[in-house]
Chain A
Amino acid sequence: NAGVTQTPKFQVLKTGQSMTLQCAQDMNHEYMSWYRQDPGMGLRLIHYSVGAGITDQGEVPNGYNVSRSTTEDFPLRLLSAAPSQTSVYFCASADAPGTGSSYEQYFGPGTRLTVT
């Protein structure tokens, strides 16, 4: 299993440009989420999905869109990049909670995004 994969690893955008960060998992997990990590702020939840066709907002959703057309993929779209979106972005997946679940989230390697 590849686990959670993210592309690209690095990206530089100009203010106003749009792009999509890709995330895929091969563990058949129902739950997927996007976080951003900034110095001194910790990981913050942007959007999440509890299954194909179902998405919802996290703590910091403004400026980002998501969709979940398949179980495997959960892309994050930046509509009009701003310098405040300079960050490291992590995608994570988790199995549906059940008896004795550890609620473990599996993280991808991250995408480092710089907006100039």
Chain B
Amino acid sequence: SQKIEQNSEALNIQEGKTATLTCNYTNYSPAYLQWYRQDPGRGPVFLLLIRENEKEKRKERLKVTFDTTLKQSLFHITASQPADSATYLCALPMNTGFQKLVFGTGTRLLVSP
């Protein structure tokens, strides 16, 4: 089965800097990869999807890369703000169904003023 690794240690950065979060997977290469944001006590919220044939995707201050050779995705937040503080989850589809997701444990990001 697919295993996803995200850094379990919190990432602390200063406002204005770029935050970079890592998602590594171990088995089959997925057709796509998603990133979600989760705030304490709330459900995850979808941010971005990147497909296997895409190297990079951007949305406002967010950038996601997908390297199927390294089996890795990087998630960047540029010009970070305290409001970006949250846990960020990486998700991939299971090989048994496009809509069945496997999630990483998430990385907590703390942006200090």
Partner of A107, one of B1, B32, B43, B105: B43
| Also in contact, A103 and B99, with CB within 8 A (given A40-B8, A42-B89) | yes
> Is the Cβ of A103 less than 8 Å from the Cβ of B89?
no
Please choose the segment from A11-19, A43-51, A66-74 that sits at the chain B interface, where 4 or more of its residues have CB less than 8 A away. A43-51
> Is the Cβ of A45 less than 8 Å from the Cβ of B100?
yes
Q: Within residues 27 to 42 of chain A, which ones have a CB less than 8 A from any CB in chain B?
A: 31, 33, 35, 40-42
Q: Within residues 73 to 109 of chain B, which ones have a CB less than 8 A from any CB in chain A?
A: 89, 91, 93-94, 97-106
> Is the Cβ of A97 less than 8 Å from the Cβ of B43?
no
Chain A residue numbers with a CB within 8 Å of B43 are: 4, 90, 92, 107-110
User: How many A residues are at the interface, by size bracket?
Assistant: 20 to 34
Q: Total contacts A to B, CB within 8 angstroms? A: 64
Chain B residue numbers with a CB within 8 Å of A92 are: 43
Q: Mark B17-36, 1 if CB is under 8 A from A, else 0.
A: 00000000000000010100
- Chain B interface (Cβ < 8 Å from any Cβ of A): 1, 4, 8, 32, 34, 41-46, 49, 89, 91, 93-94, 97-106
List 10 A-B residue pairs with CB atoms under 8 Å apart, sorted by A's residue number.
Answer: A42-B4, A43-B44, A44-B103, A48-B97, A48-B99, A50-B99, A103-B34, A103-B49, A104-B34, A106-B46
